[in-house]
Amino acid sequence: MSVSEDVLRLVRTVERLPSEDQDKILRMVDLLTLVPLTVQDRTQRMLRELLERHPDTKSECVAGVDDVLAYLERNAASARTARNVVAPATSR
């Protein structure tokens, strides 16, 4: 399956979710654009691990997603702070 087909399948799936779940997914995507590649990779592992655990209830799944979002939010804040640090001026 090509990437574009995967994206379309994902979009169709997300559009059928409740608004709250859609918001969480959009927040996750937004945060992923703000963090370094190492954090993106760890996030993927966290999500795979969540799926492999086969949560029995929606609340277990939501808790796992909330953990991922918290991880991303912490790292996005750190990345913003690091970008805002001004490098000392060099003397000429």
pLDDT tens sequence across 11-53: 888 889 899 999 999 999 999 999 999 999 999 999 999 999 9
- Asked if 72 contacts 38 with a C-beta cutoff of 8 angstroms, the reply is no
pTM: 0.75
pLDDT at 91 over 60: no
Tell me how far apart the alpha carbons of residues 45 and 49 are, in angstroms, rounded to a whole number: 6
Maximum alpha-carbon separation in the chain: 64
pLDDT confidence of residue 85: 66
